[in-house]
Every structure is written in structure tokens, then in C-alpha cells.
């Protein structure tokens, strides 16, 4: 039985195996082969080899995916993903570490969060499954599966009370120097034409620090309206201790962000959003409305400071919002959260307080949560002695 052919780079034409008497080099009889005599194939092979060798010589790195192009600012420094109002309590219990199995009970009062929700998570090195159900029986689920270190597939489902069902499919491929991401929101192939939202993005490293990308959106959600398509461009420059990113969206928006590692425990971020839109305006001298272009802009400046047992975040926006958040670890298994915002121009204010409690399903996990042993069960230096 013949052994399977060895995979080769798609651009390396010279390494293709012989197929039906066509040889990439001269055949054993001494007669010239197709790839060595055809000038077009010789040119394409030469160009392909030159591009491959040049890319390898640049020592490029993977730039990440498009949706994380400014994550250091929007997800790490700013408060957008962490803010809440009212009172909140989270109780997490871990039963095992490999695979990881955890459940969580969440309670909230005076906020837009559900009054009660139950979450269960099970994960290992290859897959993650998460499900949440709240007091209104709204159900959300997520499944992430890693086919290998480069390919990941994701499925998200949501059945919320009073809202249409949502299903999102994602597929990511992260190569050595580029990333491809495909998304489909509520895809429907049963009708005469496709219905749903399709998003495709590509991010390529040009140099070890500079990466450029493009995102295409195809919107066919409205069954009574025409489909729409849009293209956005993005760029990211990573200098190590500072990162600059910019996005030019087809809807007329420009987003620019800058992140800086000021000190080992201090990060700062700046983001500016400029949105241009066209609005119809009625004129007194004309019966038909005229189109007027309006431009809105907002700038946000934030900082994140990490203490030994606390994390402080603060941000200031040009629209007048001043926000802060403090996460303090009272004990290794108990944490407190305080956040608030105030706007003197709008005469509004918000305040939120929360507590996080972590419990263990067995003694080994309890010692890990208290910092007495590491993930391999070895004692941690400086920790209290284990009797």
C-alpha cells in the first residue's frame, strides 16, 4: 500500500509529487518535464518561492483577530465590560481542574441584570461548554472547540424572554503571520435566498510590529428590504510598550485608539470615535427634504492601576461621564467590587456594589484557591505550611 503524500506548502510548486507522468523536474528517462519547460509555471514557481522566503525572513508573528484589534484599550483598561448598577453577588464553586468544572450563582438588585442566573462551565484544553439560565428562563449557551492550535470553531445560542432567538457561528484560523475569522448570525438557507448576517475578516502582519486588515459585512436580516454590504479597513502597530490601532468603517465611522504601558503596574488608554451620518432636514423654501451631514465625536481617556490585592480603573469621556471601578481582594476567595459614574452636564449618577465568593469542591482545590499549592499540587514558596 502506498504511503500518503507528504503535505507541502501550497505555494511550493516544485515540491509537488509526480502525477500521471507529469514531473516537477526532469523524469528519470532524461526527458524534460512540464514544470521545468513551461515558462509560465517556471515564473509562477519562482515568484512563489521568492514570496515565501521573504515572508520567512521578516520573522512575522500572528496579529490576532480583527475584533481584538484594540482590546488592550476597550477590554483591559476601559470599564465598559465591567460596569453595573445596583447590588450584585456572584458565588462560584469549582469541583475539578482537569477538566475544569465550575458552577456559578449570580444575584442582582436594582440593575438591568437578571435577578438570578445559574451558570455551568466545563472545559479542557480542547473544548469549552458554558450554559446560563436566569429567573425568566432565558437561556444562553456557548461552545468553543479547538481542532488544533490554529483552528477554533464557536457556536453561541440565545433564547431570551421577549426577544427573537439568536444563533451565531464562528470559525477562526490563526496562521503564523495572518488570521481569518468568519461569522454567521442567524443564518437561514431554507428560503429562496440567504437570510442572516455574514462577517468575514482578514488581518495580516506586514512587519513584526505592523498589521493591516479588512472586514466585510453582508447584511440580509430584513426579509422585506434589500441586502446590504460594507467594507471596513483597520491597522495596528505594536511597539511592545505602546500600541496604536485605527479602524475606518463603511458606515462613516473612524475609531482610533492608543494604549501605553506607563509602568509595570500602570496602563493607560485613549480612544476617539468620529461618526459621520446623513440626516434629512426639511427646508422652508422647498417641499422636499435636503440631506445634511452631521459629525459626532467622542473621546475617552482611561487608566488601570494594579495594586497587590486590588485593581483600580478610571476613565473620563468628552461627553462629561466620569467613571471609576475598584476591585479589591479581601481574601483569596472573597472579592469586593465598587463602581460608579457621574455626569455633571446631564445631572446623572450611577453606583454599583458587588461581592464575589469562590468556594471549592474538595480540599485540593481549596488549597489552590488560597495560594498554598500550584496547579500541579506543589507547595508555593512563602505560603503557610501544609499540615
Here the CATH number for the domain that contains residue 275 is: 2.40.160.10
Identify whether residues 254 and 284 lie together within a single domain: yes
**3-state helix/strand/coil string of the chain:** CCCCCCCCCCCCHHHCCCECCECCCCCCCCCCCHHHHCHHHHHHHHHHHHHHHHHHHCCCCCCCCHHHCCHHHHHHHCCCCCCCCEEEEEEEEEEEECCEEEEEEEEEECCCCCCEEEEEEEECCCEEEEEEEECCCCEEEEEEEECCCCEEEEEEEEECCCCCCEEEEEEEEECCCEEEEEEEEEEECCCCCCEEEEEEEEEEECCCCEEEEEEEEEEECCCCCCCEEEEEEEEEEECCCEEEEEEECCCCEEEEEEEEEEECCEEEEEEEEEEEEEEEECCCCCCCCEEEEEEEEEEEEEEEEECCCEEEEEEEECCCEEEEEEEEEEECCEEEEEEEEEECCCCEEEEEEEEEEEEECCHHHHHHHCCCECCCCCECCCCCCCC
State the pLDDT at residue 4. 45
Contact 342, 77 (CB under 8 A): no
Residue 155 lies in a domain: yes
Contact 83, 349 (CB under 8 A): no
Contact 199, 217 (CB under 8 A): yes
Q: Which of 57, 81, 100 is the last residue of a domain?
A: 57
Residue 45 lies in a domain: yes
CB burial of residue 245 (10 Å; 0-12, 13-18, 19+): buried
Residue 196, sorted as left (phi over 0), alpha (psi -120 to 50) or beta, turns out to be left
Residue 16 lies in a domain: no
Identify whether residues 109 and 46 lie together within a single domain: no
List the one residue out of 329, 360, 352 whose CA is nearest residue 91.
360
State the pLDDT at residue 228. 87
Q: How many CA atoms lie within 13 A of 384 on its CB side?
A: 5
pTM of the model: 0.77
How many independent structural domains does the chain possess?
Answer: 2
Residue 101 dihedral angles phi and psi, to the nearest 5°: -130, 120
Residue 40 lies in a domain: yes
State the residue range of the domain holding 45. 24-57
State the pLDDT at residue 287. 62
Identify whether residues 118 and 207 lie together within a single domain: yes
State the pLDDT at residue 22. 41
Residue 360 lies in a domain: yes
State the pLDDT at residue 293. 77
Contact 208, 239 (CB under 8 A): no
Residue 380 lies in a domain: no
Identify whether residues 77 and 123 lie together within a single domain: yes
Identify whether residues 71 and 139 lie together within a single domain: yes
Residue 211 lies in a domain: yes
**β-bridge partners, 383:** none
CA–CA distance, 69 with 62 (Å, rounded to integer): 12
Identify whether residues 157 and 40 lie together within a single domain: no
Identify whether residues 53 and 99 lie together within a single domain: no
Identify whether residues 314 and 168 lie together within a single domain: yes
Identify whether residues 332 and 279 lie together within a single domain: yes
State the pLDDT at residue 248. 93
Identify whether residues 79 and 32 lie together within a single domain: no
Q: Please report the sign of the dihedral spanned by the C-alpha atoms of residue 230, residue 154, residue 101, residue 106.
A: positive
State the pLDDT at residue 27. 47
Identify whether residues 167 and 91 lie together within a single domain: yes
Identify whether residues 173 and 35 lie together within a single domain: no
Residue 166 lies in a domain: yes
CB burial of residue 339 (10 Å; 0-12, 13-18, 19+): buried
What is the block-wise mean pLDDT of the chain (387 residues), using blocks of 10 residues?
A: 43 41 45 64 81 78 91 92 92 88 93 91 94 93 94 94 89 93 89 86 93 93 83 94 93 92 95 84 64 86 94 94 94 92 91 92 70 66 57
State the pLDDT at residue 38. 74
Amino acid at each position: 500500500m502506498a504511503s500518503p503524500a507528504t503535505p507541502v506548502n501550497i505555494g511550493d510548486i516544485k515540491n509537488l509529487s509526480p502525477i500521471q507522468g507529469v514531473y516537477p523536474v526532469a523524469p528519470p528517462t532524461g526527458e524534460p518535464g512540464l514544470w521545468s519547460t513551461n515558462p509560465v509555471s517556471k515564473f509562477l514557481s519562482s515568484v512563489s518561492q521568492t514570496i515565501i522566503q521573504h515572508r520567512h525572513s521578516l520573522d512575522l508573528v500572528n496579529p490576532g483577530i480583527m475584533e481584538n484589534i484594540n482590546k488592550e484599550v476597550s477590554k483591559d483598561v476601559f470599564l465598559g465590560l465591567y460596569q453595573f448598577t445596583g447590588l450584585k453577588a456572584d458565588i462560584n464553586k469549582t469541583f475539578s481542574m482537569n477538566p475544569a468544572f465550575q458552577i456559578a450563582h449570580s444575584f442582582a438588585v436594582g440593575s438591568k441584570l437578571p435577578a438570578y442566573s445559574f451558570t455551568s462551565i466545563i472545559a479542557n484544553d480542547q473544548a469549552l461548554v458554558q450554559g446560563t439560565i436566569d429567573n425568566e428562563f432565558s437561556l444562553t449557551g456557548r461552545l468553543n472547540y479547538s481542532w488544533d492550535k490554529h483552528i477554533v470553531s464557536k457556536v453561541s445560542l440565545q433564547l431570551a424572554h421577549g426577544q427573537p432567538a439568536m444563533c451565531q457561528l464562528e470559525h477562526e484560523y490563526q496562521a503564523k503571520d495572518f488570521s481569518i475569522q468568519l461569522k454567521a448570525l442567524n443564518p437561514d438557507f431554507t428560503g429562496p435566498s440567504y437570510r442572516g448576517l455574514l462577517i468575514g475578516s482578514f488581518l495580516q502582519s506586514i512587519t513584526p510590529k505592523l498589521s493591516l486588515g479588512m472586514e466585510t459585512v453582508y447584511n440580509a436580516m430584513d426579509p422585506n428590504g434589500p441586502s446590504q454590504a460594507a467594507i471596513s479597513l483597520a491597522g495596528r502597530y505594536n511597539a511592545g510598550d505602546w500600541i496604536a490601532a485605527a479602524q475606518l468603517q463603511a458606515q462613516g465611522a473612524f475609531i482610533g485608539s492608543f494604549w501605553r504601558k506607563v509602568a509595570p503596574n500602570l496602563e493607560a488608554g485613549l480612544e476617539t470615535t468620529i461618526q459621520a451620518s446623513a440626516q434629512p432636514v426639511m427646508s422652508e423654501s422647498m417641499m422636499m427634504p435636503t440631506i445634511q451631514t452631521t459629525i459626532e465625536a467622542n473621546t475617552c481617556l482611561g487608566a488601570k492601576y494594579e495594586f497587590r490585592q486590588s485593581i483600580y480603573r478610571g476613565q473620563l469621556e468628552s461627553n462629561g461621564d466620569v467613571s471609576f471601578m475598584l476591585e479589591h481582594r479581601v481574601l483569596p476567595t472573597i472579592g469586593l467590587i465598587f463602581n460608579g459614574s457621574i455626569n455633571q452636564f446631564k445631572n446623572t449618577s450611577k453606583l454599583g456594589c458587588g461581592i464575589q465568593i469562590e468556594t471549592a469542591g474538595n480540599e485540593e482545590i481549596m488549597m489552590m484557591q488560597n495560594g498554598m499549592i500550584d496547579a500541579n499540587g506543589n507547595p508555593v514558596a512563602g505560603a503557610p505550611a501544609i499540615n
